[in-house]
Amino acid sequence: MTIPVVVTARDWRRSAVAGMASYLDAAAIVTTGTALVLFQDALGLDAAQIGVLSSLLTLSIAAGALTGGRLGDRFGRRRVFTVTMLLLAAGTGLLAAAAGPAMLYVGIVLTGYAAGADLPVSLALIAEEAPPGAAGKLVGLSQVLWFAGIITTQLLAVIVGGLGTTGGRVLYLHVAVVAVVVLLARLSLPESSRWIASRDALATGDAAVPSGPGLRRLLVRPHVTPLIGLIVFYSLVNVAANTTGQFGTFLFVNVAGSTVQVAAAISAGVIGVGILVALVFMRVVDGTNRMRWYLAGALCFVLSVAVPLTFGITVVTLTVGTLLGAIGGSLAFEGMLKIWTQELFPTLLRATAQGTIVGVARVVAAMAAALTPTLMTTSPQLAYAVLTGIVVVGLIAGYLVGRTARRHNHLLEDADRTARDDAEVAG
């Protein structure tokens, strides 16, 4: 008989407060894309500077993910995600008050680094404190919050977009205020009990915890194989996701001959679909049919780039592709990565692994983004052929790694260890 998993209001609150990292990540990225345009006249920004600042945000997020995860494994989840919220509030506050390009550069670096560093640590805490059998559902909540960050920022941009520089300041101020609220809410969250148990076990020489935190420990068996597999999966699929997300309007206007208004309307509808599918993901990810849902999402993702490749780049094919990509992305992309990294790596390497994977993928995305506009303009069919090929390879890598996650679920091992420690203390 299967014992039902009980998720309490406290579990939901903790997961929402920690998962706001995804909201703030999305809000910071979308805000920057709009605010820099609003700042360009008053602050004297040219196209090259806007491009550099946009790339700097991506690279700063990558740097934050690469280092923040390691710090979280070494010093604890709570310490790191408290500092990251302070940095994020400071960075976006600086951007909201920017009087010139120099303040923008400093603010972008602080904001990007803080957002990147916060993500792997906050997700690790959610998974480690989740009731057994509910980690996927609670980690999946972060995907819904990520969509919420996009929608809220876009709606706010509609309201303040006509205010010029003031509108840009309001957009950044929104992120700063939310960061402060999240910081205050996080002050009441305790440290991950599983991280504490693993740290203490390592200190006492417990053979069940053979390795402590450190990037080098990920590069040996048995961790190196899933690490490489997930890097291939996330980096390659992310190139396609980033192309449709970052350059969707560009493709509708400059390749399909449509308008910004049409692209914006389609994007809003697709985000709504993405939220609905993300809610479905939360219901099924902890079940026995997880990989079947992954395969269904993978098929949708492949079709999302194969349709424009096969039938040409038109408003219709881009719309169909965007819709399929939203479905595929919710079932077979970042949400799966988040739960797989929790299951495939032990506590003292968990945040390091996820930060490394996300960091490498962000760098790859930044490099690909530099070439995408030119390739899409000069040879769009070739661009989609390349995207189709790399998506297929990435999704195959994800399947090969993901199907082993349940058999090597370190979260369950962590729960057993924590329960033993609690029993010893009670005894």
Q: What is the helix (H) or strand (E) element at residue 418, kind and residue range? A: helix 410-426
Assigned domain for 175 exists: yes
Query: What's the CA angle centered on 342, arms 339 and 343, to 5 degrees?
Result: 90
Torsions phi, psi of 45, nearest 5?
-90, 135
User: Is the per-residue pLDDT at 414 higher than 60?
Assistant: no
Assigned domain for 1 exists: no
pLDDT single digits (tens) 222-248:
889 999 999 999 999 999 888 877 677
Mean pLDDT of 384-413: 84
User: Is the per-residue pLDDT at 408 higher than 50?
Assistant: yes
Q: Point out the least confidently predicted range of 215-224, 289-298, 303-312, 412-421.
A: 412-421
Mean pLDDT of 299-307: 96
pTM for this prediction: 0.85
The CA distances from residue 325 to 67, 269, 270, 296, in Å, are 30, 13, 9, 12
Assigned domain for 4 exists: no
> Average pLDDT of the chain?
87
Assigned domain for 3 exists: no
Calpha distance 26→175 (Å, rounded):
10
Q: What is the helix (H) or strand (E) element at residue 37, kind and residue range? A: helix 9-39
Could you tell me the pLDDT band of residue 422, with boundaries at 50, 70 and 90? very low
**Domain of residue 266, CATH code:** 1.20.1250.20
Better-scored residue on pLDDT, 380 or 322: 322
Calpha distance 71→191 (Å, rounded):
14
Q: Is residue 312 packed enough to be buried (19+ CB in 10 Å), middle (13-18) or exposed (0-12)? A: middle
Give me the half-sphere count of Cα atoms (radius 13 Å) on the Cβ side of residue 20. Answer: 23
pLDDT, residue 197, reads 85
pLDDT, residue 119, reads 92
pLDDT, residue 427, reads 44
Could you tell me the pLDDT band of residue 410, with boundaries at 50, 70 and 90? low
- Enter the tokens of residue 396: 């195959």
Among candidate residues 344, 351, 329, 330, the one with its CA nearest the CA of residue 402: 344
Assigned domain for 205 exists: yes
Which residue range forms the structural domain that includes residue 345?
10-426
User: Is the per-residue pLDDT at 420 higher than 60?
Assistant: no
Assigned domain for 41 exists: yes
pLDDT, residue 273, reads 92
pLDDT single digits (tens) 27-38:
998 888 888 888
User: Is the per-residue pLDDT at 2 higher than 50?
Assistant: no
Q: What is the dihedral of CA 303, 307, 308, 311, to 10 degrees?
A: 170
Number of H helices, E strands in the chain: 17, 0
Better-scored residue on pLDDT, 207 or 136: 136
Among candidate residues 93, 98, 57, 95, the one with its CA nearest the CA of residue 177: 93
Residue 92 contacts residue 179 (beta carbons within 8 Å): yes
User: Is the per-residue pLDDT at 297 higher than 70?
Assistant: yes
How many structural domains is the chain composed of? 1
Q: Identity (one letter) of the amino acid at 231?
A: I
Assigned domain for 101 exists: yes
